[in-house]
Structure 1
Amino acid sequence: MSTAAEILLEEIRQARASRGLNQEEFGRLINYSGTHVSAVETGNRPPTADYVAAIDRALRTGGMFGRLLRRLSELDAEPVWLREWITFEDQARALRWYEPAFVPGLLQTEEYARRILRVAGVFTAEQVEQRVRSRLARQAVLTRDDPPHLVVVLDEAVLRRTVDDDRELMREQLDHLATGADHPAVQVHVVPADAGLYQGLQGGIILATLPDDTVLGHIDNQVRAQIVSGSAEIVRLQHTWEAILSAALPRRPSLDLIKEAAKSWT
């Protein structure tokens, strides 16, 4: 059974071919490189809202592909922005991840992921399980032969905040986090409670560095998450990241703090 993305890509390929255009020619028409067009059509790069909007403008479709993208995305388990980000996450050679509220998804246990998704209060039981499966599948990026270099910064409150008042759950999660922090491709830093106010407390950010050194950002808020690609915005996010990292403990003291917090939940 085809996914929503596959259905959309087939329609885009048909639209290009029906006009007798190769990928380079199509790219010039929509102001994207032929390489980008090829990556989208082969499924190596997601068809973003901006990309399909460029097609709609160039082909004068009246917004048909944009509407198709929005409607078909409802058929997939994950929203468009998340499926797009998962693709970038999988391609990244480096990930810088700051989280003030929860353990990052790539380092979560199954039950911790399930509980915090339930707490959100916006998903059905079936949707929660779909997202748990998706989150666990994404963790495979850290066990492949060429994992990205993952640098995580957590606020100490993440280590001290209980989930459903379940002490055993927290101990298991922090033990798992400590194990992950010992992975050669992973660095985990903790901003200690006595750091006071520092940049970044407004919300989590992720910076993904792709193989061509392009840097993309992911920011989250109470309404929705979004992908950031504008150069000025990326520079600002990188400055914020550096300020956050400078407030954090070095790697070894951070690991000691994680282990101490894990013991406190026993």
Structure 2
Amino acid sequence: MLFSMQSDKSEHRRKQIRRWGGELRRLRELAGFTQAELGDSVGYSGPQISALERGTRRPSRKAIEKLDGSLSTGGALARLWVELHEPPDVPEPWRDFLIVERESVEIREYAGMIIPGLAQTSDYARGVLHPGREPLEDEETEELVRVRLERLGRLRSDVRVWMVIEEAVLRRVVRSPRVQAEALAHLADLAETRRVRVAIIPSEAPLRPALAGSFRVARVSDGRMLAFAEYVGGETLITQSNKVGELLGYFGDLQADSLSTEESVKLIRKVEGELR
């Protein structure tokens, strides 16, 4: 999962910020500014500019825009920041899937632990990303939340999305009953508009296969099918056709044991009401 990769990600993030800071120093010196002079032009102190250049301070987007303007870079600092941080601080398998996801014409996802990222609300996503452990920096958390919330809107207009979700996911409270209820309301709204086809597996379903983690299967426009499966340490990309086919078979079995869309929405609304 994301949490187990936090130390590696943190070091990677520090390297990215140091690289950006080195470029800021180069452009400042090229423009003939001292740190104090550049700071005055953007509302920072000289020591704050020094911290940015050393990579010990993370710049805000507004600060990056002001620095580009003061140094007349034509947006070079903003482009470098995007290159280094978009998608920001996401584990490598997720980066791959974000690309696959946007090219997909079909996405099938089984969720056994949490509401899928495509259907999460902002507060629910914050609760998943920061479940009471060592806090992430606020700005970093918000960047990760933003990536999750933008995913659905970046899909192809003709994509078809199916989600099969365990009933236990509805009842597992993330962060607070209010946050969970709002997340369920959002999930039900998506299901009702058919933007996403949602099917809930009731707790008493007898025949569903025992699976160790959630998974996603995507079909891209050229017909290729790829899968991502979760395990304790993260996620793995699956391209072998026989293994992708096996996951598709599991997904079909899970769908067969699921409620209809209408009954699924009723159950989601019922659990939402219990949490209000």
Say whether the fold is shared (TM-score over 0.5): yes
| Contact in 2 for aligned 1:148/1:185 (Cα 8 Å) | no
**2:142 paired residue number:** 129
Q: Separation in 1 of the partners of 2:167 and 2:132?
A: 21
| Contact in 2 for aligned 1:200/1:244 (Cα 8 Å) | no
Give the residue type in structure 1 aligned to 2:99. T
1:238 to 218, 234, 248: 248
**Given the superposition, is the C-alpha separation of residues 74 and 108 from structure 1 closer, same or farther in structure 2, using an over 3 Å criterion?**
closer
| Contact in 2 for aligned 1:147/1:185 (Cα 8 Å) | no
**Structure 1 runs of 4+ off > 3 angstroms?**
72-76, 120-123
Q: Does 1:99 align with 2:92?
A: no
Determine which structure has more spread, i.e. the larger CA radius of gyration.
Answer: 2
- Report the Cα offset of residue 247 of structure 1: 1.3
| Contact in 1 for aligned 2:209/2:250 (Cα 8 Å) | yes
- Report the Cα offset of residue 141 of structure 1: 2.9
**2:190 paired residue number:** 180
SS in 1 for 2:217: strand
| Contact in 2 for aligned 1:92/1:210 (Cα 8 Å) | yes
- Report the Cα offset of residue 203 of structure 1: 0.8
- Report the Cα offset of residue 75 of structure 1: 10
| Contact in 1 for aligned 2:229/2:236 (Cα 8 Å) | yes
Q: Separation in 1 of the partners of 2:158 and 2:136?
A: 33
Q: CA RMSD in A?
A: 2.4
2:151 to 122, 133, 138: 138
| Contact in 2 for aligned 1:141/1:148 (Cα 8 Å) | no
Tell me the TM-score normalized by structure 2. 0.65
- Report the Cα offset of residue 117 of structure 1: 0.8
SS in 1 for 2:226: strand
Q: Separation in 1 of the partners of 2:267 and 2:107?
A: 22
- Report the Cα offset of residue 101 of structure 1: 0.7
Q: Does 1:208 align with 2:218?
A: yes
Give the residue type in structure 1 aligned to 2:136. T
SS in 1 for 2:259: coil
- Report the Cα offset of residue 140 of structure 1: 1.0
Larger deviation: 124-133 or 102-111?
A: 124-133
Q: Does 1:118 align with 2:120?
A: no
* Structure 2 runs not aligned, ≥5 long: 1-15, 17-83
**Given the superposition, is the C-alpha separation of residues 123 and 229 from structure 1 closer, same or farther in structure 2, using an over 3 Å criterion?**
farther
1:157 to 148, 165, 168: 168
Give the residue type in structure 1 aligned to 2:104. A
* Structure 1 runs not aligned, ≥5 long: 5-71
Identity of aligned residues (%): 28
**Given the superposition, is the C-alpha separation of residues 115 and 75 from structure 1 closer, same or farther in structure 2, using an over 3 Å criterion?**
closer
